[in-house]
């Protein structure tokens, strides 16, 4: 069984939650059942109780300042302690940055960390998403792989993957390895130096023709986690 932890606010955590679509895609890709859990319910004890083979933390459009930090204590402890293979996507990836770059129990509110402001003459992509003046990546973007890692098996040094974000990790967390970057986002992908704990800013789960490198990355992650992956396309 695979566990998907949703980063959506509790009011949006229902059948319309983005975790539902991710659940279906992972079930199609691996042939394994997927359980979803809200981030405020996730901690070492609750995750150990369901005993997943792998964990995925989703993205979310909810700004960091709207999230009650105390609701993150359990998932913070999970990130620091779990030995279960874990892949964090988009806001889940940023959660790794917040959790390892600061003590969450000593802060009252987490900041948004935008990539950058829009350049002069550049389309205001953030305005459509409610953040005027800030660059918002919302397309398939070229990402450069900086170092070899089993999660990139079968891929070249550049991949095109789906981006949908305004914020990013600003500082590489201590104990992590920098795996990939793009023109506008430095830390596109990172990995813990001692555990199968990955963070990716992009949405590997949103692959589509002709850009299917995200599917390969997910398949490789599940192989590393010991999860059987379906060989046919999904």
Active site residues: 90, 203, 205
Q: Give the burial string for 168-198 (b: 16+ CB within 10 Å, else e).
A: bbeeebeebeebbbbeebbbbbbbbeeebbb
Q: 3-state DSSP call for residue 200?
A: strand
Q: Are 89 and 54 in contact (CB under 8 A)?
A: no
Q: How close are the terminal C-alpha atoms of the chain, in Å?
A: 18
CA atoms within 13 A on the CB side of 61: 13
Sorted by sequence, the CB contacts under 8 Å of residue 131 that are 6+ apart come out as 114, 166
CA atoms within 13 A on the CB side of 174: 6
Type and span of the H or E element at 141: strand 137-145
- Cα distance between residue 122 and residue 134, in whole Å: 10
Record the tokens describing residue 109, joined without a space: 């509110």
């Amino acid at each position: 069984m695979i566990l998907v932890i949703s980063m959506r606010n509790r009011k949006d955590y229902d059948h319309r939650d983005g975790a539902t679509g991710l659940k279906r895609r992972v079930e199609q890709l691996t042939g394994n059942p997927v359980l979803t859990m809200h981030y405020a319910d996730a901690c070492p004890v609750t995750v150990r109780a369901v005993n997943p083979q792998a964990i995925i933390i989703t993205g979310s459009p909810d700004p960091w300042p709207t999230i009650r930090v105390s609701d993150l204590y359990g998932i913070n402890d999970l990130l620091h302690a779990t030995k279960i293979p874990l892949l964090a996507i988009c806001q889940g990836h940023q959660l790794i940055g917040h959790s390892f770059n600061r003590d969450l129990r000593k802060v009252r509110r987490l900041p948004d960390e935008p990539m950058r402001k829009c350049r002069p003459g550049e389309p205001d992509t953030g305005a459509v998403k409610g953040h005027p003046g800030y660059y918002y990546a919302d397309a398939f973007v070229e990402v450069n792989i900086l170092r070899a890692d089993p999660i990139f098996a079968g891929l070249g040094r550049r991949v095109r993957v789906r981006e949908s974000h305004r914020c990013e990790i600003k500082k590489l967390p201590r104990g992590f390895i920098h795996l990939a970057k793009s023109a506008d986002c430095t830390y596109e992908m990172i990995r813990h130096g001692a555990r199968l704990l990955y963070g990716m800013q992009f949405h590997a789960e949103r692959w589509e023709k002709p850009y299917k490198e995200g599917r390969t990355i997910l398949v490789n992650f599940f192989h590393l986690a010991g999860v059987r992956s379906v060989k046919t396309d999904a």
